């Protein structure tokens, strides 16, 4: 099963200059808790933005560069290579970005975990437009706004309608 996980603002913004446009530690905690123990798949730019493999998870990096290496990560060079591997994996696989990789796999996603932040930020990378009619909301939970997390936000989970 392929799950997408991301955080977006009111305009579907997800990135700014290869970083996140906001600081929201509660979302990073949610990311860690949700993905822990599962394979995570990311584009080369997102990997370099994180800067290291994330512990407790098989880290898969997509790049077209045949010489690319990243210690502690598995490297795939095409969508097809990833999908062949994913067919053999019984557990939930998390696609964690960024924009190019979400575009690449949106038709393959079975579940969506989105943190919706009710603000408008500045940046340059957007999540693709989704036809929400194809998706059923199965859970939502308001995030806690506090000194360290100064926004209104909600964790939402969807499954693809049959």
Ligand X SMILES: NC(=O)c1ccc[n+]([C@@H]2O[C@H](COP(=O)([O-])OP(=O)(O)OC[C@H]3O[C@@H](n4cnc5c(N)ncnc54)[C@H](OP(=O)(O)O)[C@@H]3O)[C@@H](O)[C@H]2O)c1
Q: Which of 33, 65, 91, 131 binds ligand X (CB under 6 A)?
A: 65
Q: Name the minimum Å distance from CB 7 to ligand X.
A: 4
**Contact status: 53 vs ligand X (CB under 6 A):** no
User: How many other CB atoms are found less than 10 A from the CB of residue 24?
Assistant: 21
User: Which residues lie closer than 8 Å to 98 by C-beta, 6 or more apart?
Assistant: 14, 15, 42, 43, 45, 46, 49, 125
Residue 59: other Cβ atoms inside 10 A: 21
Q: How many residues bind ligand X (CB under 6 A)?
A: 30
Q: Which is nearer to ligand X, 92 or 100 (CB)?
A: 100
Q: Tell me the C-alpha distance between 2 and 87, whole Å.
A: 10
Residue 2: is the preceding peptide bond cis (ω within 30°)?
Answer: no
Angle at 82 between CA 79 and CA 87, to 5 degrees: 120
Using the rule CB under 6 A, is 23 a contact of ligand X?
A: no
Shortest separation between residue 60's beta carbon and ligand X, angstroms: 11
Contact letters for ligand X, residues 24-43 (x by CB under 6 A): ------------------xx
- Contact with ligand X (CB under 6 A) among 38, 75, 86, 97: 97
Is residue 19 a contact point for ligand X (CB under 6 A)?
yes
User: Can you tell me which residue has the tokens 């939502």?
Assistant: 140
Of residues 14 and 90, the one with the C-beta less far from ligand X: 14
Q: What residues line the site for ligand X (CB under 6 A)?
A: 6-7, 14-16, 18-20, 42-46, 49, 62-65, 68, 77-79, 96-101, 104, 125
């Amino acid at each position: 099963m392929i799950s997408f996980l991301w955080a977006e603002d009111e305009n579907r913004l997800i990135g700014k200059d290869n970083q996140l446009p906001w600081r929201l530690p509660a979302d990073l905690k949610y990311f860690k808790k949700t993905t822990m123990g599962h394979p995570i798949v990311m584009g080369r730019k997102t990997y370099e933005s994180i800067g290291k493999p994330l512990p407790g998870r098989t880290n898969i990096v997509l790049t077209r560069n045949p010489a690319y290496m990243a210690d502690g990560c598995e490297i795939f060079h095409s969508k097809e290579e990833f999908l062949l591997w994913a067919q053999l994996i019984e557990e939930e696989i998390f696609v964690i970005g960024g924009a190019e990789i979400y575009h690449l796999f949106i038709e393959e996603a079975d579940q969506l975990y989105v943190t919706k932040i009710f603000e408008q930020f500045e940046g340059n990378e957007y999540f693709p437009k989704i036809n929400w009619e194809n998706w059923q909301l199965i859970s939502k939970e308001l995030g806690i706004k506090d000194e360290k997390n100064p926004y209104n936000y909600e964790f939402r989970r969807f499954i693809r309608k049959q």
